[in-house]
Amino acid sequence: MNPKQITRENYLLKIEWTDGHQSELTVSYLRRKCPCAQCKQQRAQSKDGTIEIDEHLPEPIHFKSYQRVGHYALQFEFSDGHKDGIFTFEYLRKLCICPQCHSEPSRVKNLPFHH
């Protein structure tokens, strides 16, 4: 899966994929899902599986810089100074939070109600 177009906004990353699908990922969400070893460990150790970030100090978390890594990934420097995570396109697609991506069988919603 590859992006056709990537639009970077202050607090949002928009990706249009080659299959026409579109993902919108907020920067703070990406920061929380950072795939580097350090953040993975933090998530594993926290009760709710998320990372504590200074989201609103002094302004909402945003990208300081952004670069492509080869043909397979993006690397961001976040405004909190963190820049170790390499987000592969495959991973970014998995992070998509649109209703369509969340309708796989394990998350079936609107089930008819049975007694």
The 8-class DSSP code of residue 105 comes to G
Q: Does 98 bind Zn ion (CB under 5 A)?
A: yes
Asked if 37 contacts 49 with a C-beta cutoff of 8 angstroms, the reply is no
Q: Does 86 bind Zn ion (CB under 5 A)?
A: no
Give the shortest CB-96-to-Zn ion separation in angstroms. 3
Beta-bridge partners for 78:
63
Closest distance of CB 91 from Zn ion, Å: 12
**Does residue 105 have a cis peptide bond before it, meaning omega lies within 30 degrees of 0?**
no
If phi > 0 it is left, if psi is from -120 to 50 it is alpha, else beta; for residue 45 that is alpha
Q: Is 85 in the site for Zn ion (CB under 5 A)?
A: yes
CB of 71 to Zn ion, least distance (A): 21
Strand order in the sheet with 3-8: 3-8, 12-17, 22-26
Considering only residues 38 to 77 of the shown chain, the ones binding Zn ion according to CB under 5 A are 39
Q: Which of helix, strand or coil describes residue 98?
A: coil
Out of 27, 34, 74, 95, the only residue in the binding site for Zn ion (CB under 5 A) is 34
Shortest Cβ 114–Zn ion spacing (Å): 29
Stretch that binds Zn ion, among 4-12, 53-61, 71-79, 88-96 (CB under 5 A): 88-96
Q: Which residues bind Zn ion (CB under 5 A)?
A: 34, 36, 39, 84-85, 96, 98, 101
